[in-house]
Amino acid sequence: MKIRTKIGVAAVALLLWTGLAMADVPGSIRGEVTKISGDMVTIKTTEGKMQSFHVDPKTTKKEGQVNVGAMVSADVNNSGHATSVKVIQGKGMEKHKG
């Protein structure tokens, strides 16, 4: 199998997995940040469920510094992209907009 084919298959698999992981996210969600990997943020919601969403450095409105351990509120669209993220408690409370 050629390297391009392998990369293509891996990329499609990642997109499908990400889409499935974010399929039930739309709306406003709250929780504690448990992981940040690149532009992806994972939180444990107040209901105890793990949810991941994409934070675009250019288009996502942010209030506070999003860090592991911070309690956040996020507005997430049907694509799993956060349109806004606000730190509401804990690490990252210092005012930093970016």
The model's pLDDT over 49-90, given as tens digits with 9 standing for 90+, comes to: 999 999 999 999 999 999 999 999 999 999 999 999 999 987
Residue 44 located in a structural domain:
yes
In angstroms, rounded to a whole number, what is the distance separating the alpha carbons of residues 26 and 82?
9
Residue 96 located in a structural domain:
no
Residue 94 located in a structural domain:
no
- Structure confidence at residue 46 (pLDDT): 86
Structure pTM? 0.67
Residue 7 has pLDDT above 80, yes or no: no
- In this prediction, residues 8-18 reach a mean pLDDT of 57
What range does the domain containing 52 cover? Answer: 3-89
Residue 98 located in a structural domain:
no
Q: Hey, is 20 helix, strand or coil?
A: helix
Question: How many structural domains does the chain have?
Answer: 1
User: Whats the size of the chain, residue-wise?
Assistant: 98
Say which CATH number the domain at 51 has.
Answer: 2.40.50.320
- Structure confidence at residue 23 (pLDDT): 44
Residue 48 located in a structural domain:
yes
- Structure confidence at residue 31 (pLDDT): 95
Q: What is the DSSP string of 32-96?
A: EEEEEETTEEEEEETTS-EEEEE--TTTSEEES---TT-EEEEEE-TTSBEEEEEEEESTT-S--
Residue 63 located in a structural domain:
yes
